Structure 1
Amino acid sequence: MAEITPDIQAPPGSLPTPTRLEKRPKGRPAKVVPLHGDTVKVLVWELPIRIFHWINALAIIVLMATGIYIGNPFVSPTVPEEASYSYLMGWVRIIHFVAAFIFTLNWLFRLYWILWGNRYSVANPLKKSFWTGLYETLKFYLFLKNKKPHYLGHNPMAQLTYWLLGVASLVMVLTGFYMFFEPQPESFLGSLFAWVPYLFGNSFLIRSWHHLVAWFFMIFLIAHVYLAIREDYLSRNGTMSSIFTGYKIEPKDHVTGED
Structure 2
Amino acid sequence: MEQLSKDVVKVYVWELPVRIFHWINAGAIMLLILTGLYIGKPIVGSTTGEEAYYTFLMGWVRYIHFFAAFLFTANMIFRLYWVFKGNSFVTTNVLRLAFWKEIFQTVKFYLLMKNRKPHYTGHNPLAQLTYLVLMGGGSIVAMFTGFYLYFEPQPESFFGKLFAWVPFLFGGSFSVRSWHHLMAWVFIIFIVIHVYLSFREDWLEKNGTMSSIFTGFKTEKKDKVETHGGEIQPMAGAAQKDAEHE
TM-score by length of 2: 0.90
188, 193, 199: which one pairs with 2:169? 199
User: 2:148–2:160: 8 Å Cα contact kept in structure 1?
Assistant: yes
Per the alignment, residue 82 of structure 2 pairs with 113
Q: CA deviation at 1:127?
A: 0.8
Alignment of 1:48-67 (within 5 A): 48-67=17-36
Specify the code of the residue in structure 2 equivalent to 1:240.
Answer: M
168, 184, 190: which one pairs with 2:154? 184
Gap regions ≥5 residues in structure 2: 233-246
- Determine if the alignment matches structure 1 residue 94 to structure 2 residue 63: yes
Q: CA deviation at 1:79?
A: 4.0
Specify the code of the residue in structure 2 equivalent to 1:207.
Answer: R
- Determine if the alignment matches structure 1 residue 169 to structure 2 residue 139: yes
170, 178, 199: which one pairs with 1:229? 199
Per the alignment, residue 121 of structure 2 pairs with 152
Gap regions ≥5 residues in structure 1: 1-31
The Cα offsets for residues 219-248 of structure 1, whole Å up to 9 and x where unpaired, read as 000000000000000111111100110100
Higher percent of residues as strand: 1
The Cα offsets for residues 34-77 of structure 1, whole Å up to 9 and x where unpaired, read as 33332211111111110110000010011000001000000012
Specify the code of the residue in structure 1 equivalent to 2:116.
Answer: K
Per the alignment, residue 34 of structure 1 pairs with 3
Q: What is the SS of the residue equivalent to 1:185?
A: coil
Q: CA deviation at 1:251?
A: 1.5
Identity percentage of aligned residues: 63
User: 2:31–2:68: 8 Å Cα contact kept in structure 1?
Assistant: yes
Per the alignment, residue 27 of structure 1 pairs with none
Alignment of 1:134-145 (within 5 A): 134-145=103-114
Per the alignment, residue 8 of structure 1 pairs with none
Higher mean C-alpha deviation, range 79-88 or range 225-234: 79-88
100, 109, 123: which one pairs with 2:92? 123
How many residues align? The count is: 228
Return the alpha-carbon distance in structure 1 between the equivalents of residues 45 and 2 of structure 2. 55
